[in-house]
Structure 1
């Protein structure tokens, strides 16, 4: 806090006034310039005070000092900013003699500097009783009233004096009193009336500078200090205030990121210059630290998050805590760098010190949002729910603004409801999220952000076309909105609109290259443009199955090229199968190559393969594809020569098959879907097989880390021949009701580790044999890493009848998908 005071620690009246007082009280000076004592007085007046102070200290030991000499001692030690010595002298002599007014004034200033308000006021009032017209004493008394927070008396006395004797010094005093009461606008208004161009008013410039700094009018204050040079310490503070004002301007919303970056770059350049200039000055080290702290804001705005974090940790390592306003900036940096644990810890240390559940101060809207995101990213869902509930209770729909009779919409209310959508999505309660987001979007149709949020929920539910429609409606409001373009790009990728997604991504990257959401979008597009390796297979552990045989092993691999001209990918692959049967070992090797086409609503693959099943080499081919009619309906088909579904035992006995299938999927959302399939195959031994099936999923339970699904399945087949060397029932039918549970063991942004449990039971009917039970169990784990690796392994056990005999199969299945 700045002070306007007669003390040398605070803003002082010019020494010319003191000289005038000295010359009035000591008229002998006019004609005794040659005396030793007079010379010491003159030296003290010119700034060399130590000789006089030493002289008086020695003389005190030798003889009794006069009241005038005591007054001189008090006054000169006050000029030297030595409050301790001033008060020591005062305490020794104030009861022993009547000290002249100038000495009492010096003692009162020292008491005020030591914040002994009552004692200081008592001395001021004593002086004013003896000398009512002493302006120095009256000024000091009123300023001490302000310091002691006797607000009503201080402002009353200051106004009365300004009315009685208008002038710059009275206005400066009034500005000081306003500032002491925290009324900075009133303070700067009073100070702005001072005529600083007048040489007579130069002594009030410090007051005006202090008022301007308190009101963050740093630029003009710095300019004024250049016209009227100030001490180096004050000049450094004004420089820092002006640079801080530039940082605050960088946080102001602008039309685009480039404008904010220009302001932030200007602030960074200024801070770097100031730090280089002051770093070797011992007296400026506190200012250097403040510059480093305030520079954190410019680093965060400029998206130099690593630099901001490194600088913060360096400042904290010195043992001195960084102020809360800068810790908020660093929390944003930690969150942007995907370190939500540190971001949450920082914000909680600011608002919930020592583990308190009640906020010590109201959270800003930005901090409410960042704290919630940090807790959600840390999977601290209970804490996030408590925060949202508290925030919602504290934010009514309408708020009353002082001076306005009409209630105004409350932005915090809208933020709380928007964050509710984010919470519901993060906790996997997508139905509630959709309902909530749709209500907000429909009731606030003019709010583009609400429509974008609603579209994001639809996309999370696997409904990209519905999301696209909402984004088209939002586009009417502001077509070039960055958040809109990002969401449109994500939706285009889901719709396989690769060209549109690429154009939108490039535009967003050009406009906001360092934004975290833009970097995420750019990475997803980069991942799509990578090559892809797929590996899947199984290893039999203990099996009696006539279908796969003993010691069975399968491996299917495919390597896809990066996209060519947006829609095409070339691929090559290798398939291998092995199994032991009664008649011997069966082996099949397939080498394949082909092309994949993807576009909106359509996927297709064409493949040519060469098969070696141990007897001869054959050429096969495959055509497969699917088409989306809407978000809910998809139909697919395939046709194969040398079908990959041909049983290995048939291949072992020289039998191949050609076939194809048709299927239709109905998808409501992530919680419910069903698929009907029909497939046929013609074997080279004359057998014709027709298979059908119905499968589905019904979500039974959802929590942030756990889901439970009901997975029913019905299937059957018909074969035209029975006397064949592979498992081939004339007719069969199965029905299985299963449960699948999935638990998230670890989640950190795009890295997720899960475990899966499956169990099922049902029945199997085969013509010519008694019905039997089907039992299934499975356990597996899956890890998804950084959008480029998706791998899983599952151990399965099942027991079912084959030709009336129940047989067991234990196998280990695995799959791996890598983008590189």
Structure 2
């Protein structure tokens, strides 16, 4: 026969807890009222004693027993609320206080209400059952806090300050970082000592607003108050990173990781426990090296962690970020999608997918990924920045370049020099905003000129073009109208296409009718050229690049000129603000008419160059930077019937970069040899680009 009694879960839990207590406490718990009503005094004395020893759970059981027999006992009820608050059950304590507020002093009421709000803010950091509602608890907590400030102003200064401080935590969770910064400044303006527990939160908001100089003293103060706070220490390291002080940041991350054992063990424990602070420190340490341009080391560090915890969403997202910086967008996208599968609401995974899809020229998918990011993290400043980046990529593209040079002959002169005594070139390209996510149309213009024997030869053309780029395929076509008197035929055209085989490989080709890059010496003689070019590039990561190319030019006079070449660069040294690369190139060409042509046309020639490139990041702030670049080259050049001579070259340039645009200019000095005669050449160039699309 089934029992008809009902066991309440709270009573069952109470019974089980009581049975786990010492025998003396159990006896007091189940003791009934003594004759004459004196048992109450004895129970209250025991309760006070237990609370004085911080044995709040045992005290609460005695209180519950008392209230079970005397539910109207105000003293027991008051002690129950206070003891719940002592146990950390602030929400239950606040609910009890609301039923009998007259039993409590103002400072007790304010403390319990403040604890309840703080606890709700704390719970807002936990992922809810429905992740789409993850900010609902924070919004509710903030509204509850504002209601207290509005309807029941705090009578004690500390509790009034506490509500203002706790509001900063809720605002931070809601990504209202400007409000956090304003609230913190208001507290300082009123000479209020801000509690240490909120300083890391304020620092986090200031970093989200990209104000590392303001965040640094706040985070230093937070760490000094609590040196063992791993999250505050990580934020402090990032503040130094964002101030470009890698000499201060990297030791912070290294020391933090070294201070955290992987599996610490409590005294007397049979085994250690998982230390998630060590995980956070290790990931932050790896990402710090990536921010310092050492992506290879960061890759190795994170790869080891991924092998241990492949099902960790934040770790997969971090690894994806490093793959993106290593110029591997497909690999990065794969990691970001793995992270999003593990945690569909991971901000880094959602944001990373947008950037990777843009790099892969899958703009429609990038827009969808951005929409998902904004739906889940609508107030996050990072979402707004990513949206601006995508808008710039989809917007109009602009490129303007100009170059000029002077070549001085040594000895008998250089009638065959392809540059002449003076030369200049100017080019303009303006592309429309992206059409249908794949197409652009625009205008192009170019002018080239050179002086040969004091006679100026010009090539001037303007035209229209169309560009297509989506996923692996890119294609372009332009039609030009030529405006010069040196060569007949007013129309020229170009066709080009490239195909991305993967993250590392890209192949391409182009063909042109009346190629603008053909010899100006030939154009002076009324000779134009058609061209065919092929290329293949292999870039396995950010430290190595090899490109091969071949060209075939067919001039109107029947001469054909074929050339092949390979260019390579590899990283030799990586520092946060200095990158040193080794450079190498090998080129060879031949002309069917040889030196019988009316222009510089070696029958056969070849060159080999070795060099160094020093790239110094002089100043940088997030997406804006100023770089100085020095290139040194030297190597032999051989021309049939004229032997071999060494060719030195030095180039120096400045590169100014701002989010969306780049302005650069430089000077190059070299001593080339043509037909056995050496020249000294100095060239200046400048370029302005906006938009960043290929």
TM superposition score normalised by structure 1:
0.73
Q: 1:727 to 1:172 in 2, by over 3 A?
A: farther
Contact 1:184 1:215 in 2 (8 A): yes
Alignment of 1:218-233 (within 5 A): 218-226=90-98, 227-229=100-102, 230-233=104-107
1:450 matched residue in structure 2: 315
Mapping of residues 616-765 of structure 1, within 5 Å:
618-721=490-593, 722-765=595-638
Q: Distance in 2 between matches of 1:549 and 1:184?
A: 94
- Count, aligned residues: 652
In the alignment, what sits opposite 1:131? none
Q: By how many angstroms is 1:305 displaced?
A: 0.5
Instruction: Find the partner of 1:342 among 205, 210, 214.
Output: 214
Unaligned runs of at least 5 residues, structure 2: 1-24
1:246 to 106, 120, 125: 120
In our comparison, the structure showing a higher alpha carbon Rg is 1
Who is 1:235 aligned against? Answer: 109
User: Relative to structure 2, which stretch is displaced further, 400-409 or 753-762?
Assistant: 400-409
- 1:589 — aligned with what? 460
Structure 1 residues 666 and 417, CA gap change in structure 2 (3 angstroms): same
Maintained 8 Å contact 2:207/2:215: yes
**Cα gap change, 1:346 to 1:288, in 2 (>3 Å):** same
CA gap of 1:397–1:236, structure 2 versus 1, over 3 A, is closer
Aligned equivalents of 2:436 and 2:122: distance in 1? 46
Post-superposition CA distance 1:287-327 (Å, at most 9, x none): 43322111111111111110110110110112222101121
Q: In structure 2, do the counterparts of structure 1 residues 480 and 195 end up closer, same or farther at CA, with 3 Å as the change threshold? A: closer
Offset of residue 707 of structure 1: 1.0
Return the match for 1:785 from 629, 649, 658: 658
Equivalent residue of 2:215, what SS? helix
Report what 1:601 is aligned to.
Answer: 472
Of Structure 1 and Structure 2, the greater helix share is in: 1
Whole-Å separation in 2 of the counterparts to 1:807 and 1:583: 17
**Residue 327 of structure 2 contacts residue 541 of structure 2 at CA under 8 Å; is this kept in 1?**
yes
Quote the offset at 1:175 in angstroms.
4.9
1:415 lines up with 2:280 in the alignment: yes
**CA–CA distance in structure 2, aligned partners of residues 555 and 715 of structure 1:** 26
Structure 1 241/379 Cα, relative in aligned 2: closer, same or farther at 3 Å?
Answer: same
Rounded to whole Å, the distance in 2 between the matches of 1:751 and 1:490 is 18
Distance 1:362 1:187 in 2: 33
SS in 1 for 2:305: helix
Judged with a 3 Å threshold, the aligned counterparts in structure 2 of structure 1 residues 322 and 694 are, in CA distance, closer, same or farther, namely same
Report what 1:111 is aligned to.
none
Q: Which residue of 2 aligns with 1:56?
A: none
Cα deviation, residue 470, structure 1: 4.6
Corresponding residue of 2:142: 268
SS of the aligned residue for 2:509 comes to strand
Tell me how far 1:206 sits from its aligned partner.
4.8
Question: Which shows bigger deviation, 293-302 or 390-399?
Answer: 390-399
Distance in 2 (CA, whole Å) between partners of 1:402 and 1:501 is 52
| Aligned position for 1:798 | 670
Q: Which has the higher contact order (CA 8 A, sep 6+)?
A: 2
Which of 359, 365, 378 does residue 494 from structure 1 map onto? 359
1:605 is paired with a residue whose SS is strand
Would the aligned equivalents of 1:278 and 1:288 in 2 still touch at CA under 8 Å? no
Comparing 766-775 with 530-539, greater Cα deviation is found at 766-775
CA distance, structure 1, for counterparts of residue 209 and residue 68 of structure 2 = 50
The separation in 1 between residues aligned to 2:317 and 2:376, in whole angstroms, is: 19
Q: Secondary structure at the match of 1:645?
A: coil
SS at match of 2:434: coil
Question: Equivalents in 2 of 1:532, 1:565: separation in Å?
Answer: 16
User: Residues 423 and 241 from structure 1, CA distance in 2 versus in 1: closer, same or farther, beyond 3 angstroms?
Assistant: same
State the shift of 1:608 in Å: 1.0
Alignment check: 8 A CA contact 1:661 1:680 kept: yes
Moved more, 697-706 or 522-531: 522-531
CA distance in 2: counterparts of 1:806 and 1:177, whole angstroms: 101
Higher alpha-carbon deviation: 544-553 or 302-311 = 544-553
Moved more, 581-590 or 299-308: 581-590
Distance 1:807 1:167, change over 3 A: farther
Verify: 1:363 aligned to 2:229, yes or no: yes
Equivalent in the alignment of 1:99: none
User: Helix, strand or coil: the match of 1:536?
Assistant: strand
Deviates more, 1:603-612 or 1:214-223: 214-223
Pairwise CA distance, 1:467: 3.6
The equivalent of 1:259 in structure 2 is 133
**Residue 528 in structure 1 maps to residue 528 in structure 2:** no
Is the partner of 1:352 in helix, strand or coil? helix
Does 1:559 find its partner at 2:430?
A: yes
Q: 1:574 aligned to 445, 449, 452, which one?
A: 445
Q: Distance in 1 between matches of 2:197 and 2:489?
A: 74
Cα offset for 1:361? 3.5
SS in 2 for 1:635: strand
Residue 771 (structure 1) aligned to one of 644, 661, 668: 644
CA RMSD of the aligned region, Å? 3.1
CA distance in structure 1 between the aligned counterparts of 2:258 and 2:174, rounded to whole angstroms: 35
Q: 1:293 to 1:475 in 2, by over 3 A?
A: closer
Cα distance in 1 for residues equivalent to 2:134 and 2:334: 32
- Give the alignment of 1:32-71 within 5 angstroms: none
Does the 8 Å contact 1:464/1:495 carry over to 2? yes
TM-score, normalised by the number of residues in structure 2: 0.86
User: What stretches of structure 1 of length at least 5 have no aligned partner?
Assistant: 1-154, 354-359
- Partners of 2:575 and 2:619 in 1: CA distance: 14
Q: 2:197, 2:222 within 8 Å by CA — same for their partners in 1?
A: no
Report the Cα offset of residue 184 of structure 1. Answer: 5.0
